[in-house]
Structure 1
Amino acid sequence: MTEQVPVTSEMATPRRRKVFTIGAALIVLLLLLAAGTTFLWSRWTHSISNDAFVDAYLINVSPQVAGDIVEVYVREQQRVEAGQLLALIDPTPYQREVALLEAARDVATAALEKSKSELAFLEEDVPLAIAISERRLQIARDRLAEMESALLMVTRDVENGVRAASFQVEAAKAAVVLSEEDYVRYGALYEDRSATERRFEVATKSFEQARAQLEASRARLGQAEAQRQRVPITEHQRDAARGAVEEAERQVEVARLRRIEVDVKRRAVVEHRRKVTEAERAIELAATEVEYTRIVAPYDGIIARKWRHLGDYAQRGEPLFSMYDPDFVFVTCHLGEDKLDGVAPGNRVSIQLEAYGEPFEGRVLWLGSATGANFSLLPRDLSSGEFTYVIQRVPTRILVDRDERWPLLIPGLSATVRIDHGPGDPQWVEEGLRWEDRAAHLSERARD
């Protein structure tokens, strides 16, 4: 019969230690296996990158006019409202320019009013002068026609009178010859007592009457010939009337030429009106520049930085302030090209900020259509044939879910993102793009 050796506590301790060690090793191995499996699964179903940071639409508020900064009304990190006055550029030079332009406008307006008055006078006076000159021309033509008719009548009457007087003289001469023959015959008969004294007296009287009638006829012929002087007088009057017609015609031409003066004055009115319009536009532009001396916030936001201070000279287009809207903050991630598989717009994202312990949640809005290398100032040059592989990174925008910690999101904070793989959510992406469009609209307001 075999004798049993009793097991003491000293003999059992190594066995228990061995079992404990093996168990612990198995537990650690299982834990490592679980951790490794979890890590590998996480890497397989997620894209992780620490090349990410909090971003925002940071815009520069710049003046549209140059000048000395005479007032600054805000400080860095101050919240401002849309339209709030941020700074003031010295408006004095621009106000003086407005005053000079207004004076020039007043001069142009006075010249315009004067031209309009002169044009109104000419438009009334020139037609009246033309009408008067044409009336005088008609009167002169009527006078000329009257003188030509009078000349014709005078010439005809004078010639007829001279001709009639000549006929009367010839008739008187014949009567004298006849009465003289009777006088001589009856005188001889009276001396011979062959005729009575009465008959001789009758013959004598007839002879004297014939001679008197001849003298009268000659006088009338002289008078008729004297009437010939009326012809050159009438011709002179006709020539004067013709000269008056020519002068009246010249006056009509001169009066009609004054229409050119009216046209010139009308063009002068148009030119003065154009100058007034240009002056008013210049005043509007100068007044706009005066308004531009007031630098105002384009929208509600936070002044991130002041680039210029009181007393500095600000150039046109030079940034004075940088600001952003805290309601439009997102995360920009430069995702490596080896991590793009499975990433789609709308996928959930866990965002771990280095500054805070608890992660934020968000979603992918879009993936860039080109890698960051395409926008590098020094792009890669592979023409030499040398090539070193470098992982390219694609800009990816992530919208952060809003919660009570939203004010903690400060642009520039570093982040590590963990993007779930999946097909994405197109409906949510449309909403996110509308949000981005709204943010872009704010940026356009800042440029305005």
Structure 2
Amino acid sequence: MKDLDDIPQVMHDMGAKARAAAAELAFATPESKSAALNAAAEACWSRRDEIIAANEKDMAYGVDKGLSPAMLDRLKLDEDRIKGIVEGLRLVAAQRDPVGEVIADWDMPSGLNIRRVRTPLGVVGVIYESRPNVTADAGALCLKAGNAVILRGGSESFHSSRAIHACLVDGLVQAGLPKDAVQLVPTRDRAAVAEMLTMTDHIDVIVPRGGKGLVGLVQREARVPVFAHLEGICHVYVDAKADPAMALEIVLNAKTRRTGICGAMECLLIDQAFYADHGPILIEALTKAGVEVRGDDTLAQVNGVSPASEADFGKEFLDMICAAKLVDGVDGAIDHIRTYGSDHTDAIVTAHQPTADRFFQRLDSAILMHNASTQFADGGEFGMGAEIGIATGKMHARGPVGAEQLTSFKYLVEGNGAVRP
């Protein structure tokens, strides 16, 4: 690789290697791809002490940089989280291989047989912040779908990502697949990101995974197609006919299980009728759990609640902070979510199915949930093993982006001497 001071040349070289690797991966056997992922999982587990030591350097860097506790939590790796990475790699390895799947098959009067068949996208560029596990998730999913990938992790996770990436490369080599199939940008220099966004000759799609600033930059500057992963401004609406005990459990889990993930609840909407019947039980539970609740005029009267500003609605806090508002029924909740949501994940808690149906029909978020915590907005929880991100756009992929979503398709047309009149 060229001198790291020459970022355009470094990225050009990586792109050329990725394109060559993608050509081989397109016809790699399912068995070889699974073998690479299982070998990578073994390497991650056997080198867990090295990965944790690398992560300690990143944690110190994050503290010096002034990252919030929630962001430091996203960055941190321990043995349990490495175990989760290992299990994720093995789950992806065990999944059905999407490449070559026949999506549709039909015959035409002309004598042609036409099949629509899944095929890899080619080269995927993934730009992400903080969470080093994305290195494993993105590498695994791209490989499973027959794609080469160029990973650009956040500056905070630099050492952790390198340690995990080394395990992925070991897996590729052991399985006889090209080691350039999974590459990691070897510098923190942000010029590498700018370069990736214009590499139309080498990269087929960019997947940004991070905060509003990163995603906005990618969408503004990219000449390569983008799978957008916008903010997780997730709402939970508690309907008048919600079971109070269920609502309490879902709301607490949605906000407090892990505050730094994109599936965390950022705004609680409570039907006025529920509030009239049950009072501030949900708000009091949140404040008791240590959540700073910023409420509308009525909820701000509850002890421990501060008044919400307009900016608090439609904000991704990624912290123990939550906006809250009373609304007039499900239509009030729908109007609020349409105004302030990010089309990521929104949930309704109700025992009344027609109300849930109306919520599902009239909102178009990538994920809509009924009587379930928004924390389930995760590719692993959807049975995908892992995900690259939650796509909030409307083209190609929406919701959790797993291996199947990282494929396109081609048409295979067969005739028996067919000619067109």
Q: Which TM-score bucket, shorter chain as reference?
A: under 0.3
* Larger helix percent: 1
Higher relative contact order (CA 8 A, sep 6+): 1
Q: Rg larger in 1 or in 2? A: 1
TM-score by length of 1: 0.14
